[in-house]
Amino acid sequence: MLLVNRYRPMMLILSIMAIASLLVTSPAFSASEKKPFKIGGIFAVTGPASFLGDPEKKSMELVVEQINAAGGIDGHMLEAVIYDTEGDPSKAVMGVSKLINKDNVIAIIGPSRTPTTLAVMPMIQKAKIPFISCAAGNKIVAPIDPWVFKTAQSDILAVAAIYENLKAKNTKKIGIISVGNAFGESGKEQLIAQAAGSGLAVTKSETYGAKDTDMTAQLTKIRQDNPEAIVCWGTNPGPAVLAKNIQQLGLDIPLYQSHGVASPKFIELAGSAAEGIMLPTGKILVAGLLPDSDPQKEVLNVYISEYEKKYATSVSGFGGYAYDAVKILAAALKNSNGDKEKIREAIENTKNHVGVSGIFNFSKTDHNGLSPEAFVMVKIKDGTWELLK
Amino acid sequence: MELIPWPELHAMDQSIMQEILQYLFSGITNGAIYAVIAIGFSMLYNSTDLINFAHGEFVMLGSLCMVTFFGSMHLPLVPAIILTIICVAIAGLVFERLAIRSVKHPEPIVLIIITVGASIFLRGLGMIIWGKDAYSIPSFSSHPPLDIAGAKLLSQSIWIIVIFLVASVGLQLFYKKTLTGKAMEANAISKRAAWIVGIPSKLMVMLAFGLSTAMGGLAGVIIAPITMSSYDMGTMLGLKGFCAAMLGGLGSLWGALIGGFLLGILEALGVGFVSSGLKDATAFVLLLFILYVRPGGIISSADANRF
């Protein structure tokens, strides 16, 4: 008796623990009657491109959590395995190889950057696994690979949006200045390639270094031909330096920027020099300004409020790429039973999917699925955005 | 060949003149920045035989401290500048005390590798303190740009040139007129001889570190309004400053000045008359050429051929 008494507290604790563990594990047991769908994510969560990868990872986790809370897909829970590329192609290759060989995922979302995406594409082709990239570069979907899709708007559409605006103003001569990296080069290529079709002549095409402190020399050169507009292609902070230099030189030439600077940060950096600058942007930046008739307005508002509620930080324009990708994948997973070929086909046949970055209409010949309407043109006025019609 | 009528020719001449002048202004602005950074390299090399590859990171610290003091805390201009320079100099002294002086066998190559490590550390520190975003602050004064023969000289450029002149004249006076300055120079010429006549060599090295990083901080302060400050801005600036110092002749103050301005102006002219894509290449090819002809730099000091 004494013995039992002495051990009673111990027994009590043990039995409580046993019951508790049963309680905790039991829902998992009942759900895992069906094997969870494992999907891979690979983003530049840290490193110089973390402004892309961090919101992408968060958005992916957000959607996965929501889908699981709603009971999963056909009773299968989603399980996301996410690795960090640090924006480095060799780390991206290692991560994707782990996702395919070790984690046995059935689809992969990411990477965030064009160079990392291009680096992993050969493995995707070999493994035959559905893959939705969050990078912007057009090379990802041209030429088309059956397994590779992407959700980010490509610069082709951004250039088209700018040129439409220039054409409406009857502009004939433009000068281009672009940053000397992959983003700037790709933009420059598109700007020059599409110019003739819009009746524009590119008089000068200059470049600058991503860390340059002064661009008055390039502007002096562009000024020689009296262009009617200047188009700058770069990401912060270079374009802000350029805007300041234009103001300081007293150049009275309208300035167009790329979607690469479409964030409040640009207005903060350029200050008063930002006034009057026009640029194309995904609709997320101006969700509040959109008319109620806009088909994306509801999706945008839902995404923004969910994201800001969960993470208590303001939403960025980039997380939407992963949000759209997971949503499209989730729709394709329905009735697929995890069969990769079925998932691929379902993604390719996705029509009228209203997403954060635009309305997706994939087809055999279009694996980005967006039209120029994915972009709206905005003008910076009084330190904030104004929709251009 | 048809003759161009005189007024048109004159107008063309003028527009080319105006362009060249604009390139020069751009080059002088960048050149002054490179020169201030190069002086920092040269000063330290002079008294310690050390090339501080973390120098660019001290420029970054200066720029970001200025953002904090002038941009966020809205201190008046002069106190903000002084406070920034003091902060950066203290960081330099701490760096010397902890990372350089504590080395048991201070061979140049070991110390240089330590500075490379310090640069990575400082960049990380900058990222933790200020985050990954870029910052901008307004110009020191809001004068409209000066119009000289149609070319615009920005008000911040004038600030940069004036501050640069004050700093270099001040340094020159310090080295030639004050006892401490002379002691530092003596220490630079021969540590042993200076030690024999009672100059505290350790103190002089520390002072050299403080002064050199203070110059780096000053460079950061003057460029903060014209460029965007971020934790990773230092590397390229440090490299350009190092090139300027090499170009002019490592160890020589005048060499650093000449090298800095030459590099800045060549870059601007390279953009104007060759190609903006080849901007860095133009400057570096010339650097290679000059070093080939004069290995010690334009003003070569006697011991500059050591590296």
Residue A329, both tokens: 């994948």
3-state secondary structure of A204: strand
- Pick the closest to residue B244 from B89, B24, B45, B20 (CA basis): B45
Domain ranges of chain B: 37-132+141-234
Beta carbons within 8 Å of A233's beta carbon, 6+ residues apart: A155, A176, A177, A178, A179, A183, A184, A187, A188, A191, A257, A258, A260
pLDDT given at position A332 = 94
Q: How far apart are CA A214 and CA A248, in angstroms?
A: 11
CB contact under 8 A, A217 and B26: yes
A81 burial via Cβ count (<10 Å: 0-12, 13-18, 19+): middle
Q: How far apart are CA A353 and CA A184, in angstroms?
A: 30
Residue B276 forms contact with A (CB below 8 Å): yes
pLDDT given at position B307 = 35
Domains and CATH numbers, chain A: 37-154+295-371 (3.40.50.2300), 156-288+375-387 (3.40.50.2300)
Q: How far apart are CA A228 and CA A220, in angstroms?
A: 15
Q: What is the DSSP letter of B12?
A: H
Computed over every residue of chain A, the mean pLDDT equals 88
Compare CB distances from B230 to A216, A218, A237 and report the shortest one's residue. Answer: A237
Read off the pLDDT of residues A117-156 as tens digits, 9 standing for 90 and up: 999 999 999 999 999 999 988 889 988 999 999 999 988 8
Residue A276, both tokens: 């009057």
Read off the pLDDT of residues A342-386 as tens digits, 9 standing for 90 and up: 999 999 999 999 999 999 999 999 999 998 889 999 999 998 999
Q: How far is B196 from chain A (nearest CA, A)?
A: 47
pLDDT given at position B236 = 87
CB contact under 8 A, A237 and B134: yes
3-state secondary structure of A198: helix
Assess contact for B217 and B33: CB atoms under 8 A: no
Assess contact for A318 and A52: CB atoms under 8 A: yes
Residues of A with CB under 8 A from a CB of B: 48, 50-51, 177, 180, 206-209, 211-214, 216-218, 220-221, 224, 236-237, 240-241, 244, 248-250, 265, 268-271
Farthest CA pair distance, chain A: 103
Q: What is the DSSP letter of A77?
A: P
Q: How far is A52 from chain B (nearest CA, A)?
A: 12
* pTM, rounded to two decimals: 0.78
What distances in angstroms separate CA A5 from CA A2, A18, B29, one per listed residue? Answer: 5, 20, 87
Residue B236 forms contact with A (CB below 8 Å): yes
pLDDT given at position A12 = 60
Q: Which residues of chain B have pLDDT under 70?
A: 1-14, 300-307
Assess contact for B88 and B224: CB atoms under 8 A: no
pLDDT given at position B3 = 54
> What ipTM was assigned to the predicted interfaces of this complex?
0.76
More confident residue, A46 or A108: A108
Residue B161 forms contact with A (CB below 8 Å): no
In this structure, chain B runs to a length of 307
3-state secondary structure of A296: coil
CB contact under 8 A, A271 and B272: no
Compare CB distances from A209 to B230, B268, B279 and report the shortest one's residue. Answer: B279
Read off the pLDDT of residues B284-298 as tens digits, 9 standing for 90 and up: 787 788 878 888 778
> Per residue, what are the HEC states of B228-288?
CECCCCHHHHHHHHHHHHHHHCCCCHHHHHHHHHHHHHHHHHHHHHCCHHHHHHHHHHHHH
Q: How far is A125 from chain B (nearest CA, A)?
A: 35
Model confidence at A16, in pLDDT bands (50, 70, 90)? low
